[in-house]
Each structure stands twice: as structure tokens, then as C-alpha cells.
Amino acid sequence: MDNFFTILGGMGSLATESFVRLLNERTPSSSDQDYLDYLVVNHATIPDRSSYIMDHSQTNPLPSLLADIKQQSKLNPSFFVLTCNSAHYFYPQMQNATSIPMLHMPKLAVEQIKVIAPTAHRVGILGTPGSINNGIYDGLLTNNGYEPVKPTPSILAATEKLIFTDIKQNGHVNAAHFHALLAQMQTELNCDVIILGCTELSLAQEKAPDHPYHVIDAQSILADKTVSLGLKLQKGAGKNVRIS
């Protein structure tokens, strides 16, 4: 297979399934041959990223991530897609391990704020404790002129329950729980817009979009960028596709 890309997923599997579903739904098609060529690496046994980021005595997921990069690079995809916000903590090491470019989901999400919410200043961030406490989004927001707004400890704990208990453990999106988190970020912390900085939250947005809150869905933005690049590959652009 030529002119394809590789999705590094499985973190978690339901969120990866959601991402693939978005790709297929957003690809213009009238036949099987119109869909994009890609490989999905659903490496579900990669150690938890947030646990390690918060406590370096826990198992480090980086060796598994690097092994996937090196293995898949042998197949020569045109680019990589990393479908886990927390795993972007390791993005520099992963990109340094290959000459094949890898999309950066948090950067893409922050770049789209000016398009989706042009008047926004206070930008809330929801995600895993690892992503929140290690500032995966903070620097990107500050450098682009936004004020990052982190969740309170109680909002973070409720977000952690939604991600790890409701979705990862039980495979269920609690719509009321999800909407309550968004309401708290908007009304209690005065956020103009809220980044969904975890792909389980993006899954919640896919399953329960019926709310009035303004969100920046990082996984949805990544899906749009991936479709755009994938369609260029279809037209024979091959290695000339630029990801930036």
C-alpha cells in the first residue's frame, strides 16, 4: 500500500474507534475506493500516560510508544497521527525517533481557536490529571495570546471520573456528567471556550453534543486535518504532503 498514513491509537480503544469513525464520516465517498488508506495501531496495552506523568515511579509508556514508531516507520507511511493528548508529553522523543512527520494534536487545536472562537481570551482546559498538571496546552495557549484556565481540584476529580471510570472502565458516556463539567468551566471559571484535551472527552462530545457550551474538540480538529492530508495523498501527492 502506497500513500497511506498510520494512526497510533489504543489510548484508549473507544476513543480511537471514535477517531476512525470521524475520519470515515468526513471523507467524501460514493464507493469503497473513495475512503482513505491508513493503518490503525490499537496498542491498548501501552501503560497509562497520565499515571506516569504524575508519578515517574509508575511504568513509563515511552518505550512502547518508541517501539511503535520504529516498527511502523519501516512501513514508510506518509505521516503519523497520535490520538492521545497525554501522549503528546512524549512528542519530542517520538518525533526524534523517526524522519516521518507526526501531527501535533494540541498545536492544531490551539491554532483553530482563532477560527472557531475568534473573540475568546480565557481558554479552559479539560483533560487527564497528567495533561493538566504538566501543561501540555498551557505554553501553546500563552504563546498565542490566550489565558489558560485550569479546572479546580473538584472539576479535575470529576473529569477524571468521567474519563477513567465512566468511559475507560465502564464504556459509558454519562451525558449529564459531561455537560455539568462544561457548565462549571463556563459559569464558575468564566471560560470563553473550553478545550477538550482528552480523546475520551472528544468521545463524550461525539455521543452527547446537545449542549450550549463552546468547545474546542481537539480530536475532531485532528480528524479534519487528517482527512485533508489523506485526500491529498489520494491525489498522488505522496511524500510531498506537508503537515504544517
Q: Where are the beta strands (DSSP E) in the chain?
A: 5-9, 38-42, 80-82, 122-126, 147-149, 193-196, 215-217
Distance, C-alpha 103 to centroid of its chain: 10
Q: Which three cell numbers stand for residue 20?
A: 476512525
* Residue among 228, 201, 204 at smallest CA distance from 81: 228
What mean pLDDT is reported for the chain? 95
Select 5-104+220-240's CATH number: 3.30.360.10, 3.40.50.1860, 3.30.420.40, 3.40.190.10: 3.40.50.1860
Q: pLDDT band for 139, please (50, 70, 90 cuts).
A: very high
pLDDT digits (tens, 9 = 90+) for 209-243: 999 999 999 999 999 999 999 999 988 765 656 66
Average pLDDT over residues 131-140: 91
pTM score, two decimals? 0.94
Q: Which three cell numbers stand for residue 184?
A: 462549571
C-beta separation of 131 from 86 below 8 A: yes
For 107-218, CATH gives 3.40.50.1860
Task: Write out the catalytic residue numbers.
Answer: 84, 198
Domain parsing of the chain, residue ranges: 5-104+220-240, 107-218
* Residue 3 to residue 125: CA distance in whole angstroms: 35
**Do 107-218 and 5-104+220-240 fall under one CATH topology?**
yes
Q: What is the pLDDT of residue 243?
A: 65
Q: How many CB atoms lie within 10 A of CB 235?
A: 9
Rounded to 5 degrees, what angle do the CA atoms 184, 187, 189 make?
75
Can you list the alpha helix ranges (DSSP code H) found in 112-198?
113-116, 129-133, 138-143, 153-160, 175-187
pLDDT digits (tens, 9 = 90+) for 12-35: 999 999 999 999 999 999 999 999
